[in-house]
Amino acid sequence: QLQLVESGGGLVQPGKSLRLSCAASGFTFNNVAIGWFRQAPGKEREGVSCMGSFGGRTNYADSVKGRFTISRDNAYKTVYLQMDSLKPEDTAVYYCAATGFTALQSFCSLGRGTAYSHWGQGTQVTVSS
């Protein structure tokens, strides 16, 4: 089975940092695009960050630009989202996702994530004092 498993969420104070991980099982992220998405209570899912295949193009939502960083390990088995300077409005369930098609290095789509067919179960991030 193709699975993505997120981890690393939790409760943190504003201004602190968290590092989310997304581990791939049954495949690697090498030839697909990957993305991080989040959904806050009462709000639609939104794209946070993405990365094209083979560690290509990256993109970030304006709300997290300069604070979040997407990365991968050298084996393309794990994707990370480093979150710094967290704000209460970052509170959401965070999901990692991968496309079901071979993607270009330049393909990096945010939005609601309709281009992605493989999703993790989500990990809760709560930023509160």
Q: Using CA atoms, how far apart are residues 33 and 50, in angstroms rounded to an integer? A: 7
AA letter at 111: G
Q: Confidence band (pLDDT; 50, 70, 90) for 13?
A: very high
Q: Confidence band (pLDDT; 50, 70, 90) for 58?
A: very high
70 pLDDT more than 80: yes
Produce one character per residue of 37-70: b if its CB has 16 or more CB atoms within 10 Å, e if not: bbbeeeeebbbbbbbbbebeeebbbeebeeebeb
pLDDT at 31: 92
28 vs 66, residue with greater confidence: 66
Tens digit of each residue's pLDDT (9 = 90 or more) over 17-54: 999 999 999 888 899 999 999 999 999 999 999 999 99
pLDDT at 86: 98
pLDDT at 27: 83
Tens digit of each residue's pLDDT (9 = 90 or more) over 82-103: 999 999 999 999 999 999 989 8
pLDDT at 45: 96
Quote the tokens at residue 46: 């939104």
Q: Confidence band (pLDDT; 50, 70, 90) for 112?
A: confident
